[in-house]
């Protein structure tokens, strides 16, 4: 083989241009900025279903009884309605039924006195513009929040946090479940978010035979009856 026909020798990896420390920092910063604003796809919510109700009507999966709010974690009914949801289907069931821990749960417990059965809805939230992540340390630093303030059951702490997010113009925010920290719950500001949400398919009625009800009961020590 003629020497001039040989391909040029490959440069050793040690000779290749390396990314500078500034490049790495810029890339890491880009990742952090992306992570502080969640782009979700599916949320779950358990609600008392009414046959024939439109999604945002009483008995629909997106209905928020704003006039009755005021005592829950992120309520500020004079400013907005709070729609509580989760990214984990089991979390939605647990939030509704955990009060039966140490007791027996029957099918009758899954039906309200007005005859409405609780159902699980899947909600497409791809239309939301910004849902900030309070499980992201950088977001907590930006908002000057402590993790304990997000997790506390003291409404005088958690409600102002939600109001701050509302005043920032966001559609809502994510935070970790106080039942299981690995579950991500989401609080949405109803008047902003609901027009951008879509219910995916028919809600799934809950019974003691439902796989998620059974999984929740086994995990949290709830007996199942008829």
Q: Is 60 exceeded by the pLDDT of residue 129?
A: yes
17 assigned to some structural domain: no
83 assigned to some structural domain: yes
Per-residue pLDDT, averaged over 149-174, amounts to 97
pLDDT digits (tens, 9 = 90+) for 57-77: 999 999 999 999 999 999 999
70 assigned to some structural domain: yes
Q: Is 50 exceeded by the pLDDT of residue 45?
A: yes
* Predicted pLDDT of residue 118: 98
pLDDT digits (tens, 9 = 90+) for 176-225: 999 999 999 999 999 999 999 999 999 999 999 999 999 999 999 999 98
Could you please report the per-residue DSSP string of the chain?
A: --GGGSPPPPPPGGGSPPPPHHHHHHHHHHHHHHHHEE---EEEEEEE--TT--TTSTTSTT---GGG-SSSTT-BTTTB-EEEEESSHHHHHHHHHGGGTTSEE-GGGGB-TTSPBEEEEEEE-TT-S-EEETTSHHHHHHHT--HHHHH---HHHHHHHHHHHHHTT-SEEEEE-SS-TTSEEEEEEHHHHGGG-EE-SS-EE--TTSHHHHHHHHHHT-EE--
155 assigned to some structural domain: yes
**What is the domain range of residue 140?**
39-89+119-209
Number of domains in the chain: 1
Q: Is 60 exceeded by the pLDDT of residue 24?
A: no
pLDDT digits (tens, 9 = 90+) for 74-114: 999 999 999 999 999 999 999 999 999 999 999 999 999 99
């Amino acid at each position: 083989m003629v020497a001039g026909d040989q391909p040029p020798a490959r440069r050793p990896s040690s000779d290749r241009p390396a990314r500078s420390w500034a490049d790495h920092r810029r890339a890491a910063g880009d990742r952090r900025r992306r992570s502080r604003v969640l782009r979700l796809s599916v949320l779950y919510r358990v609600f008392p279903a009414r046959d024939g109700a439109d999604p945002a009507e009483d008995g629909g999966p997106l209905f928020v009884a704003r006039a009755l709010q005021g005592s829950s974690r992120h309520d500020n009914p004079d400013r907005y309605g709070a729609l509580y949801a989760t990214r984990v289907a089991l979390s939605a069931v647990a939030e509704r039924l955990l009060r039966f821990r140490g007791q027996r749960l029957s099918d009758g417990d899954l039906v309200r006195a007005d005859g409405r059965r609780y159902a699980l809805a899947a909600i497409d939230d791809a239309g939301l513009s910004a849902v900030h992540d309070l499980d992201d340390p950088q977001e907590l630093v930006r908002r000057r929040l402590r993790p304990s303030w997000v997790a506390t059951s003291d409404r005088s702490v958690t409600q102002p946090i939600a109001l701050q997010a509302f005043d920032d113009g966001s559609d809502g925010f994510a935070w970790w479940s106080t039942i299981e920290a690995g579950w991500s719950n989401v609080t949405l500001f109803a008047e902003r978010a609901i027009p951008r949400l879509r219910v995916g398919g028919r809600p799934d009625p809950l019974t003691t035979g439902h796989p998620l009800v059974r999984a929740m009961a086994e995990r949290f020590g709830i007996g199942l009856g008829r």
